[in-house]
Amino acid sequence: MKLLALALALVSSSAFASSQSIDVAAAHTGFKMDQAVYSLIPTKTEIREIPGCNPNGENSGPCWEEVVLESKPMVQVFVDYTEGVFRDPEAAQSYLTFNFEVSEFNADAVASLKNASPMWRLGGGSVRKAFARNNFSLSTKLAARTIQVVDVRNSTICQVMESGDIVPGCVENIVYKPAQTTVREVTVSTK
């Protein structure tokens, strides 16, 4: 059994609205809420063998497939941004995904969004964009975070030979220490 996580989000909620935040590199810029979609998010999956598959046959490939056993309806919000460091010149735009419970929204609006989903449908883009604009707000801020980094002075780091093995007799001992970094906290909140 395998649980799928589609977004790494820190979730918090209040009596009136819920919000989710994701930390990204501080160098990223141009954050813009794109659209919302109605999606079924897998909550329980299973890896199964494909019947009659031959991994060494003419059309060789994986003989296992992941089957969704249970899923949960969610409203997904996509936030586009421009990568700031080490960006792929052919795909400088990236996106973040935030998942919200369908029960947080008007049932008629969710039904309309469901009819306009998924994203690759030709029609419905204006419905998806309007749902995002009317139901969510976006904010970003720079925030300090404490992370763990390798303490090189107090660690024993073994040399690696050309073969990929470590030098015989060396015992690695990695010690970590706290360090401060600055991230950009991206938050999407329901209105």
| Tens-digit pLDDT profile for residues 156-184 | 999 999 998 999 999 999 999 999 999 99
> Is 151 a member of any domain?
no
Report pTM. Answer: 0.73
- 56 CB-contact burial (10 Å; exposed 0-12 / middle 13-18 / buried 19+): exposed
pLDDT for the residue numbered 91:
76
Average pLDDT, the chain: 86
> Is 173 a member of any domain?
no
> Is 136 a member of any domain?
yes
Q: Are 11 and 18 in contact (CB under 8 A)?
A: yes
Structure tokens belonging to residue 6: 């589609």
DSSP 25: E
Residue 167: closest CA among 176, 155, 157? 157
> Is 170 a member of any domain?
no
**163-183 in b/e burial notation, b at 16+ Cβ within 10 A?**
eeeeeeeeeeeeeeeeeeeeb
pLDDT for the residue numbered 102:
95
Q: At which residue do the structure tokens 């008007």 appear?
A: 106
pLDDT for the residue numbered 60:
67
> Is 150 a member of any domain?
no
Identify the domain containing residue 129 by its residue range: 10-49+62-144+184-190
pLDDT for the residue numbered 51:
85
> Is 44 a member of any domain?
yes
Give CA 8 to chain center in angstroms: 5
State phi, psi for 153 to the nearest 5 degrees. -65, -35
**At CA 145, angle to CA 139 and CA 147, rounded to 5?**
140
Read off the pLDDT of each residue in 33-58 and give the average, rounded to a whole number.
Answer: 88
> Is 5 a member of any domain?
no
Domain count, the chain: 1
